[in-house]
Amino acid sequence: MRCVVPSSDDHLLRTFYHEIMVPSFRPEELGEPWWIGGADDGDASARTLLAFDEDGTVVGGIVSEMFPESGVLLLSWLAVRKEARGQRVGTCLMERAAQEWYGASGCQLVLGEIDDPRHWPAGEQDPVQRLRFYDRFGVRALAKPYFQPSVGPQFRSVHHMFLASFDPDAQAILSPGLVDGAVVRKFLEEYLLASAVLCGRDGLDEEDQWLLGFYDGTDIPLVPLLEYQRLPDPHPPESGCAHV
């Protein structure tokens, strides 16, 4: 691998999206491209780091989104080209993301969404192996139920996921095993409302309210990823959006 750099180049983003992200994620997890005409810059809510090999080919990338009201940075997607896996591309992306994004002004917490291996079987990508990868960086799961909100009106929300803390030194980490529940609650309200707008709704629906009911603002324990069997796993309501 040659380098990992920030990018807002429209052609490179399209290459990353179509050649790497689309094969790596379920359609309802990914949604439509997040950028418009290369608008992924320092002033946009979404930011992208791309990794390149010696020939200049895009081999991976990581995308984040800042939620300014809660001060939460969401690591939305990390993906590596299939033939480049096992070559430290993901590690380099995680290390560069920490350098570029963690601890930035206004960032209280870094979160990400990870598949629950109890519900997502091993396929081309083993969900337990993914947990082992993130565990090396001190990532810990929040001991609360979670689903990824819908990314558009044609997509349903994605249940059976973990919400995880990625930066052990973030401001909202109260101790190695505890995160500020008020910050997480504010983030979820912000995230769910943004999803409602994408789905053409005026506010939160029954499914959103179900999720928020688990987050009352009290501080939340953090659980090592490889101890995921300890995490709550309630039966979710019928999921939406998919109103078309």
| pLDDT tens figures, 31-64 | 888 775 444 444 445 699 999 999 999 999 999 9
Query: pTM of whole model > 0.75?
Result: yes
Angle CA(121)–CA(126)–CA(132) in degrees, nearest 5?
125
Looking at per-residue confidence, does 27 or 39 come out higher? 27
Strand partners, 61: 50, 79
Specify the pLDDT at position 33: 83
Euclidean distance between CA atoms 11 and 37, whole angstroms: 9
Look at 38 and 121; give whichever has higher pLDDT: 121
pLDDT in tens, 148-181: 999 988 999 999 999 999 999 999 999 989 999 9
